Structure 1
């Protein structure tokens, strides 16, 4: 009996000295690899253009985004399907990252009545007036130019807002990637990359499939 207790004690000690460190190293290594792979997917599409010349409709994008991340989108309400998808995805993204620091979502709006468009959009998709959300207006020329400045992957026949494409800007104010929110894999990729760089609030998991599914 004493010999069995001794063997058990030895096994416990070995697990504490060898097993736990090995498991911890494995998870740290896995996490490091995941973070590295996610970051390596980023590109370089130049510095984020200055949007301060565009008229504010709702919310305020900070003058200096250095140290923060930004997701920039284009909204043309005449493109109804793209607007619907963009709205649902903005709802899901906001719900997940509402309490995350140093993250901003701004939308460039093309509309004859941008105030009404933004009011209807935010009410339809449950987006409150919050520090991380902002909307600016642009005329047709500025709308098209902004898409070109952000190097959106549009064909020569597409206009901004035809597809719910967003640009991700990192903490150095570099445009690092574009995502089409109509594609589930790209939306998940956006969520995962943001969550790697800016952690989700404590005890919150990625929302990948639920009522507000991505």
Structure 2
């Protein structure tokens, strides 16, 4: 009969030789599948239109976004439901990625008083003045034109801002996907894809509403 010490030694050896490699294999396999599934969601909706001709209300996009990722949103404060969701989601996204490099959030804004609108919106949704965040003012024609240029998936009679839809632009300045921030699964998909390319600054969970974890 094997002695308890021999059994313990054998168990440790089996754990080292079999258990740890198996766990590592499963971890790496799941990680690879996770990355592959996320990458599959990326499409090609053309090159990002040049937004440098738009007037900045707050913050500025860098001269060259190549090598960075950019989340572009459309804000019309007269669309109250879309504005509320967009504000909460922009707050959550910024809080999660605020220390990450090469990531920018820019908002195309349609408002009668852009400066006052940005100030009120930023105060309500805890958005500081930060190099990552910018607001660009447009008129009604340009508001619709930019949404069309970014190929937003809008209904025939919908206008930008009704739904909080954002466009994600990758480091090659390609529009790779659109996300409706009113949909939990699409917001998760956005965060997952960004975190694969631009890692979260510290180990943390994906959060859709500040103070509420998934």
Shift in Å at residue 203 of structure 1?
2.5
Match runs of 1:30-49 below 5 Å: 30-49=30-49
- What residue in structure 1 maps to residue 191 of structure 2? 191
Residues 29-53 of structure 1: CA distance to partner in whole angstroms, max 9, x if unpaired?
A: 1101101100101111001100000
Moved over 2 A (4+): 1-4, 208-214
Residues 122-171 of structure 1: CA distance to partner in whole angstroms, max 9, x if unpaired?
A: 01111000111111111111111100100000112011111111001111
- What residue in structure 2 maps to residue 117 of structure 1? 117
Asked if the contact 1:165–1:180 (Cα under 8 Å) also holds between the matched residues in 2, the reply is yes
Taking the aligned partners of 1:145 and 1:208, their CA distance within structure 2 comes to: 29
The 3 A distance-change label for structure 1 pair 212 and 113 is: farther
Shift in Å at residue 185 of structure 1?
1.6
Q: 1:126 aligns to what SS in structure 2?
A: coil
Say whether 1:138 aligns with 2:130.
no
- What residue in structure 1 maps to residue 29 of structure 2? 29
Say whether 1:149 aligns with 2:149.
yes
Question: Aligned pair count?
Answer: 214
The 3 A distance-change label for structure 1 pair 46 and 143 is: same
Taking the aligned partners of 1:209 and 1:54, their CA distance within structure 2 comes to: 30
Asked if the contact 2:44–2:176 (Cα under 8 Å) also holds between the matched residues in 1, the reply is yes
Shift in Å at residue 98 of structure 1?
1.1
Taking the aligned partners of 2:212 and 2:25, their CA distance within structure 1 comes to: 35
Shift in Å at residue 191 of structure 1?
1.4
Asked if the contact 1:92–1:212 (Cα under 8 Å) also holds between the matched residues in 2, the reply is no
Q: 2:31 aligns to what SS in structure 1?
A: helix
The 3 A distance-change label for structure 1 pair 213 and 16 is: closer
Residues 170-207 of structure 1: CA distance to partner in whole angstroms, max 9, x if unpaired?
A: 11111011111111221121112212221112232211
Shift in Å at residue 209 of structure 1?
6.1
- What residue in structure 2 maps to residue 65 of structure 1? 65
Shift in Å at residue 211 of structure 1?
3.6
Shift in Å at residue 103 of structure 1?
0.9
What's the TM-score once normalised by structure 1's chain length?
0.94
What's the TM-score once normalised by structure 2's chain length?
0.94
